[in-house]
Chains A and B, each alone.
Chain A
């Protein structure tokens, strides 16, 4: 085993922001699993982009210091040479895939490198076997589930026989079961001698397989040479064992007015005879694996789709905050965005101050960072005075401290409205939930208040979610 990647005094400064990395030194041996972590904006993504060459190829800024990949100076390597060694798996399907067909995507790198049709056939057959892609061939990429997309992305990153894999926030778009499955896949690839580098805020799925942790803070790097060293470092590493957290329980007495309800609702094959009431002052969390029908349930409440049978009882359209804020911001400034919801300057000002967004009030919403955009959306929800507020995965891609912040804000919303949250983020659920609804294959399998005696039920659901994915794998 030799040194695979070696960085010495590596620094990068963006042209138009202060974020970046400063004098970073580290060495990664072949066959190691390395975690890069730290809070949002700490420089994880920057470091990852330095490794896969997107810095300096695409992103503009000043790069200093040296970086060696597989014994060669990265400066002397062209993108296509570097990417023969490194495979990249991005967090967002839009930046991951160049085409929209699974087969096209899988052969795309090989076409670029000029493989013959026969060579491609051999490789495709191999990848199909290694990553269980049989059912995924020749399909539209946007019709795949997030777990399937992850598998495809992984296979694509290995088409050139890359020995080093880079993952950018893989858990952000995966449910709990799929994240755990990814963890096992990484473990398997480690045994095959591959070098795996994962940049993520959450790392529960990597428990017990990390060889080295690179902790970034404000562009500076601290290296931990083993998982134990990282765990005993005092940084908030309880994320390794999410079930051990202790958040307490709300133990609210729930007697709020019923403001929305589904009564015996079915929709296609996705939702089957579901009845669910939402009450004011209650935070209901919908859990279940991807594909269980959680988002469809939210769409039924917001009347985006009509049920095939059953009755939907909603007085007014709920305020629905979907996953991607980029599609949901229309204002010319942060302040203007909120006036579109409610034209009440004094309340808007108070709300912006509460969310720490006041200094950005004149900025365009699209200039904000991902986390700030999300806070702005929460601000919109606070001002809207609606009875029902729905969140779809509000914490995907948030670090632990941002997640805790959002939890506090959502709890505040839950004081006067009925809040329905779709989530697979266990820690977040423990922070906000008054009530848990477990959706499985379109049915409500369980529906209970989250308190001390029912905690076991929630934990069992998560174990079941994980097991479900595991069984899927053994079937293949």
Chain B
């Protein structure tokens, strides 16, 4: 079967809208709806590994949340994890946006909804930082091992400092590097960007949005 191909803008839109819906819709309904909706989406896109990963994360958090009611020690964390749980479906969609689409695809998609160029570039650069972070993180862990200052839970703060400080410096340098890379390639050209990769708004995209809207409105009516 051919996996569903979704315009990234749909995912971004849902991610922006979903959390604010907690104002209008019953919380536990929305939580269940979003979890099912996002899991279904991941299935249709063939992202089973991601889905499994997030299912485990979800279950673990839910476990801690439940534990909080019975064990005194976990009580303070219970509320915290109850809130964190709500983020998981959005995280699922966000992880697809970052991993599945290239920067140029995201740029074109975001331009499609007429956001100002400055905002579009800033968002794209931020989203692209995650894979870079992952790559550089590996290098840093490796060189920590070679230096004999590997991460240890005995000295968590010191260990954490060792790998976070180089990252912060790299982050600052990276911001300038990426800006330069964009600027010498005409990212500031005052014309409407075109896209080499077809990212048309297809029927399936509207369908996904409609199902999402129907779920939200349904929940609103049901709760009323």
Please list the residues of chain A having a beta carbon within 8 angstroms of any beta carbon in chain B.
Answer: 52-54, 57-58, 78-80, 83-84, 87-88, 90, 92, 94-101, 103-104, 107-117, 120, 142, 156, 160, 302, 304, 317, 319-320, 322, 324, 326-330, 332, 340-341, 366
B195: which of A90, A111, A142 is its contact (CB, 8 Å)?
A111
Task: Mark out the residues of chain B between 82 and 135 whose CB falls within 8 Å of any chain A CB in the assembled complex.
Answer: 102-105, 107-108, 128, 131-132, 135
Residues of chain B lying within 8 A (CB to CB) of residue A101 = 102, 104
Question: Considering the chains assembled together, what is the distance between the CA atoms of A455 and B17 in angstroms?
Answer: 70
Q: Is the CB of A330 within 8 A of B186?
A: no
Contact between A54 and B186, CB atoms less than 8 A apart: no
Q: 15 A-B pairs, CB-CB below 8 angstroms? A: A53-B183, A58-B179, A79-B183, A80-B187, A83-B185, A90-B180, A103-B196, A104-B196, A111-B196, A112-B186, A113-B189, A326-B170, A326-B173, A327-B139, A330-B147
- Which residues of B sit under 8 angstroms from A319, Cβ to Cβ? 146
Contact partner, B165, options A117, A142, A330, A340, Cβ 8 Å: A330
Q: Please tell me if the beta carbons of B184 and A104 are within 8 angstroms of each other in the complex.
A: no
Once A58-B180, A302-B146, A317-B146 are accepted as A-B contacts, the answer to whether A100 and B189 lie under 8 Å apart by CB is no
Residues of A within 8 A of B145 (CB): 304
CB neighbors of A among B182-213 (8 A): 182-198
Do residues A100 and B186 form an inter-chain contact, with CB atoms below 8 A?
no
The distance in angstroms between the C-alpha atoms of A317 and B191, with both chains bound, is 55
Q: How far is the CB of B121 from chain A (nearest CB, A)?
A: 10
How many residues on B have C-beta within 8 angstroms of the other chain's C-beta atoms? 52
- Chain B contacts for A328, CB-based, 8 A: 143, 147
Cross-chain contact A99 with B186 (CB below 8 angstroms): no
User: Given the complex, which residues of B lie within 8 Å of A120, measured CB to CB?
Assistant: 194, 196
Closest to B176 in A: A58
Flag B65-96 by CB within 8 Å of A: 1 or 0 each: 00000000000000000000000000000000
Q: How distant is B185 from chain A, measured CB to nearest CB, in Å?
A: 4
Q: Is B193 in contact with A54, judged by CB distance below 8 angstroms?
A: no
With A110-B196, A120-B196, A320-B146 already in contact, the answer to whether A52 and B187 are too (CB < 8 A) is: no
Residue of B nearest to A115 (CB): B194
B104 touches A322 (CB 8 A): no
Q: Is B148 an interface residue (CB 8 A)?
A: yes
Q: Answer whether residue B37 sits at the interface, using C-beta atoms and an 8 A cutoff.
A: no
Known: A92-B177, A111-B104. A160 touches B186 (CB 8 A): yes
Task: Using A111-B195, A113-B191, A330-B149 as known contacts, list a sample of 18 further A-B pairs with CB atoms less than 8 Å apart, ordered by residue number in A.
Answer: A58-B180, A87-B184, A94-B174, A99-B128, A100-B103, A104-B103, A111-B196, A112-B187, A112-B191, A120-B196, A320-B143, A326-B166, A327-B140, A327-B143, A327-B166, A330-B144, A330-B162, A332-B165
**Taking the nearest CB of chain A, how far is it from the CB of B163, in angstroms?**
8
Asked whether B142 lies within 8 Å of A80 as measured between CB atoms, the reply is no
* A-B contact number at CB 8 A: 142
Q: Taking each of B105, B174, B180, B184, which has the highest tally of chain A beta carbons within 10 Å of its own beta carbon?
A: B184
State the CA gap A107–B197 with chains docked (Å): 10
Report the minimum CB–CB distance from A35 to chain B (whole Å): 21
Q: How far is the CA of A35 from the CA of B128 in the complex (A)?
A: 35
**B135–chain A nearest beta-carbon distance, Å:** 7
Compute how far the CA of A23 lies from the CA of B180 in the bound complex, rounded to whole angstroms. Answer: 25
On whether the beta carbons of A104 and B108 are closer than 8 Å, the reply is no
Complex Cα gap A109–B105 (Å): 13
- Bound Cα distance from A83 to B142, whole angstroms: 39
**Closest chain B residue to A319, Cβ basis:** B146
Taking CB atoms, residues of chain A closer than 8 Å to B153 are: none
Contact flag A116-B194 (CB < 8 Å), given A54-B180, A109-B186, A160-B186 = yes
User: Given the complex, which residues of B lie within 8 Å of A103, measured CB to CB?
Assistant: 196
Q: A111-B196, A340-B147, A366-B169 are in contact. Are A80 and B177 (CB under 8 A)?
A: no
CB distance from B107 to the nearest CB of A (A): 8
Closest-by-CB residue of B relative to A156 is B185
Task: Say whether B194 contacts A114, CB under 8 Å.
Answer: yes
Across the interface, A107 reaches (CB within 8 A) one of B140, B182, B192, B196, namely: B196
- Contacts A95-B177, A114-B193, A322-B143; A54 near B108 (Cβ below 8 A): no
**B181 located at the interface, meaning its Cβ lies under 8 Å from any Cβ of chain A in the complex:** yes
For residue B184, which residue of chain A has the nearest CB? A88
Contact A104 B104 (CB under 8 A): yes
Within 8 Å CB of B107, what residues of A?
A: 111
Give bound CA distance, A215 to B17, whole Å.
Answer: 58
B169 engages A326 (CB within 8 Å): yes
Within 8 A of A (CB), among B147-170: 147-149, 162-163, 165-166, 169-170
Give the chain A neighbours of B21 by CB distance below 8 A.
none
Check if B52 is an interface residue, CB within 8 A of chain A.
no
CA distance A113 to B184 in the complex (A): 12
Nearest A residue to B169, CB-CB: A366
For B193, give its contact among A52, A83, A111 (CB under 8 Å).
Answer: A111
Contacts of B149 in A (CB 8 A): 330, 340
Contacts of A107 in B (CB 8 A): 104, 196
Does A329 contact B166, Cβ atoms closer than 8 Å? yes
Residue in A52, A98, A320, A326 with the greatest tally of chain B CB atoms within 10 Å: A98
Look across to chain A and name the residue whose beta carbon is closest to the beta carbon of B108.
A111
Rounded to whole Å, the gap between the CB of B101 and the closest CB of chain A is 10
Contacts of B180 in A (CB 8 A): 54, 58, 90, 95
A112 touches B193 (CB 8 A): yes
Which are the 3 A-B pairs with shortest beta-carbon distances? Answer: A95-B177, A80-B189, A114-B191
Given contacts A330-B162, A330-B166, A340-B147, contact A78 B191 (CB under 8 A): no
